[in-house]
Structure 1
Amino acid sequence: MLGEGALEMVDSAEKELSLQPPFRTELLRSVSGPAGESPLIPLLPATYRSRFTVRLVSADVHAFLQSELDLSRLNRIHKWLWMVGLPSSPRSLHVQRLKGREIVLAEQLDLHLVWSPTRVFIKPLPRFLLSARFWQRDLCPHYQLYQSAFGFLLSYVALVEREVDYQMAVGLGLLPAEITWPGWLSLVEEIVYNSSVAQSYLSNPSSYPSSESHVPVNPRFYYGELRLGRLNWIYRLGLGQPRGYMSRCTTYGAFIRDNINSLITLFAYTTIVLSAMQVGLSTAFLQDSYSFGMASYVFTLFAILAPLSAIVAIIFIFLVIFVFNLMRTLRVRKKRRQQGAGV
């Protein structure tokens, strides 16, 4: 938590920076009313979820934006992201398909451009980021929100390069259907031509020094696609979180199946090696070899102990996850009871 002095420093820095919207073109259709121009389709959703509670967006737009543009989980491990992804702009949508990745929609910004061997998560571009008036009113006054929003917008400049990318984006619901291809071209040209930051980002996102505090791009977007498997290991080993960054196992059965498959692979490998050693010991050349005999002895012990150790480790991790989920459930249940819910 920032103290009052730190918050004042951030606010003063934001005022000094006097951030401007990255574009002025209004692509979204609007209607005239007593209060002036307003979008034909609302820019914001009706509700959002925060800590197991559904909240009304209109009640606190700033709180919604903080949740919508939250990248704290990735910023927390920023020093390790060089192990997770390349310091370059993300590859376009059609290239993602060429790599055999299914494009999966994810509304969490910290899952945007996170990939596994068969799929890549991409967050749809929300309508409010295509409104210059919204940028001016709700994002420009808040530097950290501006950083996340601008980096996210620039990622789409890289994702939607060609018309085929545009067609994919509209077809998948990544871009609003009312955005036309000529309109998108105009928007991208305005963003890139009017912003030296955008030009530098698209050519070399990691060119900004980490100590630079006035670059309006969140450090997460110094990198393009991020590998989910490595994010999981960083969270498990570096932060001590057994579930990792995003667990692939949604049920205990899936967790056991995944680990049993790994155990079967280990068992098959040790069986092959033991069989080969047994054949080797039956030959005259290796039968009297002390080194080979000792190696066979050590590996035999390994073949006995390794599966047992793996089973114990799987059971231990299973129990840790079970207890963690149980405590989490009880904590949420207690909170809901305090709010008057009959649970």
Structure 2
Amino acid sequence: MAEPGTSTDIFDAAHQINTETLQTLQLRHNITDDTAGWDARLTSDLKHILFDYLYPWVWPFATKAGNHIDPLHRALIKNRIVIAAEDPKLHLIWHEDTIYIKPLPDYLLNFSIWQNYLRGRADMDMTFYQAAAGFLRSYSFLIQRESDFVIAHKSNLLPKYVSFLHFQRFIQRFRTLPDDAVSPRYHYGQLRLNRLNWLTHASKLATFVPRISTQPSPPIAPHHDHPPWIHPWYYHESRWEFRQHIANWVAPLAFIFASLSLILSAMQVGLASLDPGEAHVFVRTSKGFAIATIVAAAAPLVLAVVAVLVVLVAQFGFAVRAEVRRRRDNRVVGGRATGAA
């Protein structure tokens, strides 16, 4: 008997839109090994390993509501550009004037995939089912009107052969799914990238402190077909050049220094108006504040120089490691070719 929220009649053959055979789907998605290949594909398309790790600490920074998702026409009203992003962790993440949405994989519209790889096997990991159900539930909120459907087609989010009527008939069952039927990522709707980046920074730093570096419950278990998971510094890096990072800090630093300059100027006027023997406290305070301002002004410059040196050393180290790997691989390939000869 299925548990509440995990009903297996959510999708049946009568509502499928993609009617291709499994062999055709495997060929188009470059899958050679039947079960392991589909497991790897579902993992790369649907799993949210980093978000699952961050999940216990997201609630103070975001609205915990699975339906907190703007329909696509609403995104355009907010002057946001819809970007198709294949990485599942970017689905429904917005940053400034951009919102990232993962295109709907066509195999999720196929009944055989659900029957054989999402719910039909005795050894099936139910997180695949919950991730697929949550992903489609998010699409039920993204596309509510025909104008949303048109935007989805223009943004390459849906297969071209899908009609609005067929899509509405297919997706309506997912709109009423409860949270316990979907993966933790879809307990939230759209999320702000900046907040996730800061949370990822904090979580990464916490891994260096033994008392708080334990993983949240339930523990993260990356799929065996993927390399060991390493906690990143960013949820998603949106700036790829060092000058972009510097430019990001120019405005707040300029505001701080302008404020400090105004305060120092006011102190200078106050000191000039004092008699030589009075207000010693004000004099000492002004002197201390002036020294603190000099330190505050010099610190960012020193940190900027240090950061540039760290980046240069890191890039040089990466280049050295890549060259070592390349030469080692060439020796291995050459040795095999010689042995074969």
Q: Which moved more, 1:83-92 or 1:324-333?
A: 324-333
What letter matches 1:168 in structure 2? I
Q: Map 1:1-343 onto structure 2 (within 5 A).
A: 20=8, 22-24=10-12, 25-28=14-17, 30=19, 38=21, 43=25, 46=28, 56-59=30-33, 60-88=37-65, 89=67, 90-140=69-119, 141-192=124-175, 198-201=176-179, 215-240=180-205, 243-283=233-273, 289=279, 292-328=282-318, 330-331=320-321, 339-340=329-330
Choose between structure 1 and 2: higher strand proportion.
1
Compute the TM-score of the two structures, normalised by the length of structure 2: 0.74
Q: Per-residue CA shift, 1:46-87, capped at 9, x if unaligned? A: 56xxxxxxxx43342221221222201111111111133211
Whole-Å separation in 2 of the counterparts to 1:277 and 1:44 = 74
**Contact residue 21 and residue 132 of structure 1 kept, 8 A:** no
**Shift of residue 122, structure 1, vs aligned partner:** 0.8
What letter matches 1:229 in structure 2? N
What letter matches 2:72 in structure 1? L
Compute the TM-score of the two structures, normalised by the length of structure 1: 0.73
Partner of 2:216: none
What letter matches 1:200 in structure 2? P
**Shift of residue 168, structure 1, vs aligned partner:** 0.9
**Shift of residue 235, structure 1, vs aligned partner:** 1.8
**Contact residue 104 and residue 121 of structure 1 kept, 8 A:** yes
Q: Which moved more, 1:239-248 or 1:163-172?
A: 239-248
CA root-mean-square deviation: 3.5
What SS does structure 2 have at the residue aligned with 1:239? helix
Structure 1: unaligned runs, 5 residues or longer = 1-12, 31-36, 48-55, 193-197, 202-214
**Contact residue 133 and residue 174 of structure 2 kept, 8 A:** no
1 or 2 for the larger relative contact order (CA 8 Å, sep ≥6)? Answer: 2
**Contact residue 20 and residue 136 of structure 1 kept, 8 A:** no
Whole-Å separation in 1 of the counterparts to 2:116 and 2:195 = 38
Q: Which moved more, 1:294-303 or 1:176-185?
A: 294-303
Whole-Å separation in 2 of the counterparts to 1:173 and 1:92 = 16
What letter matches 1:28 in structure 2? I
Structure 2: unaligned runs, 5 residues or longer = 206-230, 334-341
- Going from structure 1 to structure 2, the CA distance change for 1:268 and 1:139 (only over 3 Å counts) comes to same
Whole-Å separation in 2 of the counterparts to 1:304 and 1:245 = 35
**Shift of residue 321, structure 1, vs aligned partner:** 4.5
Whole-Å separation in 1 of the counterparts to 2:243 and 2:24 = 42
The number of residues matched between the two structures is 296
**Contact residue 196 and residue 235 of structure 2 kept, 8 A:** yes
Whole-Å separation in 2 of the counterparts to 1:336 and 1:74 = 33
Q: Which moved more, 1:319-328 or 1:130-139?
A: 319-328
Whole-Å separation in 2 of the counterparts to 1:46 and 1:316 = 49
Q: What is the identity percentage for the equivalent residue pairs of Structure 1 and Structure 2?
A: 28
- Going from structure 1 to structure 2, the CA distance change for 1:42 and 1:19 (only over 3 Å counts) comes to farther
What letter matches 2:187 in structure 1? Y
What SS does structure 2 have at the residue aligned with 1:76? helix
What SS does structure 1 have at the residue aligned with 2:17? coil
**Shift of residue 311, structure 1, vs aligned partner:** 2.1
**Shift of residue 45, structure 1, vs aligned partner:** 7.9
